[in-house]
Chain A
Amino acid sequence: MAKLEVADAISRAQTYPHAVLAYVGPDGYPVNIAVDFTGSATGAVVDVGALDPDLRPADGQEVELTFSHIRPQPGVGYDERRYVNLWGPATPTGAGLRVAVRRASGWDEADTPFFEYAERGVPAGRDYLDELGARPRLSGLWTVFLATRLPFLTATVIPVGLGGVVAARDGAFHTLWFVLALVAAIAVHLGLNMANDLFDDANGADAANVTPTPFSGGSRVLQYGLVTRRAMVTGCATLYAVAVGLGLFLAAERGWGLLWIGAVGIVLSLAYSAPPLRLVHRGLGEPVTALGFGPVMALGAYFACTGRWSWQPVLASLPVALLIALVLYVNQIPDRAGDAASGKRTLIVRFSAAQVQTGYAVTVVGAFVCIVAEVVAGVTPAWTLLALATLPLAWRVWNGLRAHYGDPYALMPTMQSNILLHLLTGLLFVLGYVIAVVS
């Protein structure tokens, strides 16, 4: 329950059909009984109707009035949860009472959605568990799944796959080198996700965020006490070590140029949220993401397969680079209040809602124009125009952004569609290359 202004609370209370009067009886047990009432917000009083003479609080005794509402939903449970609590001294008025309301609290899920309400309780919940000597538990698999944010690996699979098919078009695809490059890229990505959680925990951005969703607000494993910081650091360092080890091996086998690509990738992944650069705090998260999950990964996979440099994978990755930047961009919308509070000044924090929506439109149009322009310029095969089939999905995201910008939970389907937009566009783009190679 949250504290309410008395006048506001009484105004809210007047929408309920009855109240529950509670007081502590002479035997020390609380008594609560249904009562009729009329309230005056301006006078900060509530008049309670007739009471059983045996169930009356003492003159001047502190009482509480509670007003509660739900709407039953057969087969589901109920919704429209809301309640108001008022406290103050009660004085007799004939058969009833007058309560001079001095403080109030309450909750209305229409104002504070249940998931936000629950999230606001996390610090108190952690303290309570600490006192019990208990810790929240999840299976090891679920914990790894959450801590690494495994589903977001599509962001890596697409550009690395693209580097592989561009290499195939050049007649130089090599399965082993490609798979090793993919594993190295996955290790960097998962390590980056864990590093991002560690830094966002350290700077308070995740703790300040009370509207996380499955697509935003970090993994929350640290906030919920599912994983210790030490375990996160160990996991993160292990993943980066795997990436560096594989990178060194690939560089030794395929050419030292790969070392530079890997180094750029790792530096970008750390500079994204680690001090002193903390690029995402400076509104540079999107370009860094586009670079890392576009040209860097595509070129890395291409180089691992072919052992040489080329502009082809860099240019081919531009559409998916723009789309993955938009995944970050949209997923930061629900985080904006927490990000702003912790000094993480992302583009979403810096822009107005209208600017964010315009920015999305311009960039997504840019991605699709890029797909066409590259075919026209002869950079990519004509079959990559298959990727234009996802245009309706982009339209859906655009409409979702306009309709649900201010509601993190209503925005969830839009965030999901936006992730699908990157994934499906990328897959169709890769498929276009595959068709061009085999035909």
Chain B
Amino acid sequence: MSDPTPLLPPSVIELLDVALVGELTVVDEAGLPITYPLIPLSDGNVIYLTSSVLFSRKLRHIKANPKVCLSLTDPVAVPVEPFHRATIQGDARVVEEDVHEGWERLLPMWRAKEPVIDFFLKKRFGIPLFFERSVIEITPHRVLWWEDGRASEPARVYELTGVS
């Protein structure tokens, strides 16, 4: 895990804490954006996502181009009152020294959002490749923030520095 002092704005951390799904956009080999809905996890400094090797295209894209963007846009998947929206740009790295168990350090955060994961983990023998997983760690550099959720309006921009 990263530095315990959170550098993401508290309001963004609040969104990340409750978001069941965020939209991760990566850049493909043709230089075009491609977006994947994923469960975002965060410790306040770094955003974590995990991807099974079964769905490894995004991992290849990130390895080739680490510039990514994650948005929290869906009022249903991000249940906060009042509703806000955020887009977080940053650099991602794929951590996969141990795809079998390495990702399990994120399990407490994952479980908090998707408790049913424990049920499937107990049946890991039935879907073994699903639980061979890489971790995507995003170091955020910039946050675009819409206080009232209306992304057609100018965003408040947070330039983040000192995040390691």
B152 touches A20 (CB 8 A): no
Find chain A residues with CB under 8 A from B144 CB: 33, 55
Q: Which residues of B contact A126 (CB under 8 A)?
A: 129
Complex interface residues of chain B between 44 and 79 (CB less than 8 A to chain A): 52-57, 59-60, 65, 67-71, 73-74, 76-77, 79
Q: Are A138 and B128 in contact (CB under 8 A)?
A: yes
Q: How large is the interface on B (under 10, 10 to 19, 20 to 34, 35 or more residues)?
A: 35 or more
A351 surroundings in chain B (CB, below 8 A): none
Known: A30-B69, A31-B89. A66 touches B35 (CB 8 A): yes
**What sequence of 0s and 1s flags, for each residue 110-141 of chain A, a beta carbon within 8 Å of any chain B beta carbon?**
00000100100110111011001010111000
Q: Is the CB of A20 within 8 A of B73?
A: yes
* Closest Cβ neighbor of B69 among chain A residues: A30
A63→B25 CA distance, assembly (Å): 11
> How many Å from the CB of A149 to the closest CB on chain B?
12
Q: Does A62 contact B (CB under 8 A)?
A: yes
A30 B127 Cβ-Cβ under 8 A: no
B18 to chain A, nearest CB (A): 10
Q: Contact check, A118 vs B151: say whether CB atoms are below 8 A apart.
A: no
Is A54 on the interface with B (CB-CB < 8 A)? yes
A22/B54 in contact, CB under 8 A: no
Further 11 A-B residue pairs, CB within 8 A, beyond A23-B33, A31-B87, A52-B155: A29-B141, A33-B85, A49-B152, A64-B35, A77-B113, A87-B32, A124-B55, A125-B54, A138-B124, A138-B125, A224-B129
Report Cα–Cα, A137/B142, bound state, in Å: 39
Please pick, from A24, A35, A50, A81, the residue contacting B33 in the complex, using a CB distance under 8 A. A24
Interface residues of A in 38-93 (CB under 8 A from B): 49-52, 54-55, 62-64, 66, 68-73, 75-78, 81, 83, 85, 87
Known: A52-B153, A128-B59. A30 touches B20 (CB 8 A): no
List chain B residues, Cβ under 8 A from A115.
Answer: 127
From A134, which residue of chain B is reached at the shortest CB distance?
B99
Bound CA span A214–B127, Å: 10
Asked if A125 meets B85 with Cβ closer than 8 Å, knowing A20-B23, A29-B69, A72-B79, the reply is: no
Interface centre among A24, A83, A85 (most CB of B within 10 A): A24
CA distance A68 to B24 in the complex (A): 12
Chain A interfacial positions (CB closer than 8 Å to B):
18, 20, 22-24, 28-36, 49-52, 54-55, 62-64, 66, 68-73, 75-78, 81, 83, 85, 87, 95, 115, 118, 121-122, 124-126, 128-129, 132, 134, 136-138, 142, 145-146, 214, 224-226
Report yes or no: B151 in contact with A30, Cβ–Cβ below 8 A: no
| Contact between chains at A122 and B129 (CB < 8 Å) | yes
Evaluate contact between B25 and A30: CB separation under 8 angstroms.
yes
Chain A residues near B71 (CB-CB < 8 A): 20, 32-34
Asked if B117 lies at the interface with its beta carbon under 8 angstroms from chain A, I say yes
- Which of B25, B65, B116, B117 meets A32, CB within 8 Å? B25
Chain A's interface: helix, strand, loop or mixed, by majority?
Answer: mixed
Identify 27 residue pairs between A and B in the complex whose beta-carbon atoms are under 8 Å apart, listed by A's number. Answer: A22-B33, A23-B33, A24-B27, A30-B26, A30-B89, A31-B89, A32-B23, A32-B25, A52-B153, A54-B154, A54-B155, A72-B20, A76-B114, A77-B116, A78-B77, A85-B35, A87-B32, A118-B52, A121-B52, A125-B55, A128-B60, A134-B99, A136-B132, A145-B125, A146-B125, A224-B128, A226-B128
Minimum C-beta distance from A12 to chain B (A): 15
A122 x B54 contact (CB < 8 A) = yes
Q: Do A22 and B25 form a contact, CB below 8 Å, given A76-B115, A142-B125? A: yes
Q: A52-B154, A72-B76, A118-B54 are in contact. Are A24 and B99 (CB under 8 A)?
A: no
Contacts of B129 in A (CB 8 A): 118, 121-122, 125-126, 129, 136, 224-225
Q: Which residue of B lies closest to A81 (CB)?
A: B37
Cβ contacts under 8 Å, A72 to chain B? 20, 76-77, 79
Least CB distance from A43 to B in Å reads 22
Say yes or no: B151 contacts A35, CB within 8 Å: yes
Contacts of A30 in B (CB 8 A): 25-27, 33, 67-69, 89
A96 to B118, CA, bound (A): 44
Distance of B69 from chain A, by nearest CB (Å):
4
- Bound complex: CA A29 to CA B155 (Å): 17
B126 within 8 A of A: yes
Contact B87 A33 (CB under 8 A): yes
Q: Which of A29, A137, A226 is the most central at the interface, judged by chain B CB atoms within 10 Å of its CB?
A: A29
A32 & B87 in contact (Cβ 8 Å cutoff): yes
Chain B hits for A136, CB < 8 A: 100, 128-129, 132
Interface centre among A33, A87, A125, A132 (most CB of B within 10 A): A33
Kindly state whether residue B21 has any CB partner on chain A within 8 Å.
yes
A338–B79 CA distance with the chains assembled, in angstroms:
42
Given the interface pairs A22-B35, A30-B33, A49-B152, the reply to whether A214 lies near B54 with Cβ below 8 Å is: no
Contacts of B32 in A (CB 8 A): 24, 62, 64, 87
Complex-state Cα separation, A36 to B85, whole angstroms: 14
A71→B54 contact, CB < 8 A: no
